[in-house]
Amino acid sequence: MWDAARRIGKPRIRARLAPLVLLAACAMVPRSGPPDAPLAPCPERPNCVSSEAVDARHRVGPLRLRLPAAQAWAAAQEAVDLLPRTQRLTTSPSYLHAISRTRLLRFVDDLELRLDVEGRKIDVRSASRVGYGDLGVNRRRVERLRAILRERGVVE
């Protein structure tokens, strides 16, 4: 009888896990386009900020450079390494992709930087892969990065 009860329970567990698996599979993953392409737009959800966003809810200022681009880019990479629970995945001469994990539940957020040499700025995007809101975590992450770079005289 115990085995029969266990077999009956398994489909229920699978049914409950199916939406989570689907949600994880549909999670936003950063772009893979050319380095000078714009960053991905923020979704309608309030769990993303970007310097390329046009609406106030998602908008965050770009990192305006005070140093030459190459020097500022190296400093930005070092600053990303200082962010808590953050790991760089991809680094190129003009694009950086890192992931940050939230403190409690270890959700993954994407952090992207794109160097705009002509515009003397670094565009930035930080977004949660899952969920609706982020309680301001992504905006604080970008502002922490800005503070580190400002402290070092890299950005305005």
Per-residue pLDDT, 17: 44
Domain membership flag for residue 119: yes
The 10s digit of each residue's pLDDT in 48-85 is: 999 999 999 999 999 999 999 999 999 999 999 999 99
Task: State the residue range of the domain holding 115.
Answer: 31-151
156 found inside a domain: no
In a domain, 130, yes or no: yes
Domain count, the chain: 1
Within-domain flag for 19: no
Q: Is 13 part of any domain? A: no
Considering only the C-alpha atoms of the chain, give the largest distance between any 2 of them, rounded to a whole number of Å: 73
Sign of the Cα pseudo-torsion (7, 10, 15, 16, in order) = positive
Residue 40 forms part of a structural domain: yes
DSSP structure class, residue 41: P
In a domain, 72, yes or no: yes
pTM value is 0.78
Entry field: residues in the chain: 156
* Distance (Å) of CA 94 to CA 6, 52, 119, 130: 54, 16, 13, 27
| Band (19; pLDDT cuts 50, 70, 90) | very low
CATH number at residue 138: 3.30.310.80
Has residue 100 been placed in a domain?
A: yes
Tokens representing residue 25 in the block? 């599979």
Report the share of the chain in percent with pLDDT over 70: 77
